[in-house]
Amino acid sequence: MDRVKKDSPLSSPNLLEIRDYWTALKKDREIPARGDFSPASIARHLPIVSLTDVFYNPLRFRYRLLGTRITELAGRNATGKWLDEELYGEKTDDMLWSFRQCVEVKHPIAVREQVQFVDKSWVIVEVALFPLCDEEGRINVILSALDTASLNTETPPDGTCFILDWEKS
DSSP 131-151: EEE-TTS-EEEEEEEEEEPPT
pLDDT at 157 over 90: no
Q: Does the domain formed by 2-164 have CATH 3.30.479.30?
A: no
This prediction has a pTM of 0.91
Distances (CA, A) of 52 to 6, 80, 92: 26, 9, 15
| Residue 121: predicted pLDDT | 65
Q: 146, 48 in Cβ contact below 8 A? A: yes
pLDDT at 37 over 80: yes
Q: What tens digit of pLDDT does each residue of 107-126 get?
A: 999 999 887 666 666 778 89
At 153, is the pLDDT very low, low, confident or very high (cuts 50, 70, 90)? confident
pLDDT at 101 over 70: yes
User: Average pLDDT in the 140-165 region?
Assistant: 90
Q: What tens digit of pLDDT does each residue of 53-88 get?
A: 999 999 999 999 999 998 888 788 888 888 887 666
In 27-169, DSSP assigns E strands to 49-55, 60-66, 109-116, 122-133, 139-148, 160-164
Q: In the chain, where are the structural domains located?
A: 2-164
Beginning with the edge strand found earlier in the chain, give each strand of the sheet holding 109-116 in spatial order.
2-5, 160-164, 109-116, 122-133, 139-148, 49-55, 60-66
Reference 61, options 89, 87, 83; nearest CA is: 83
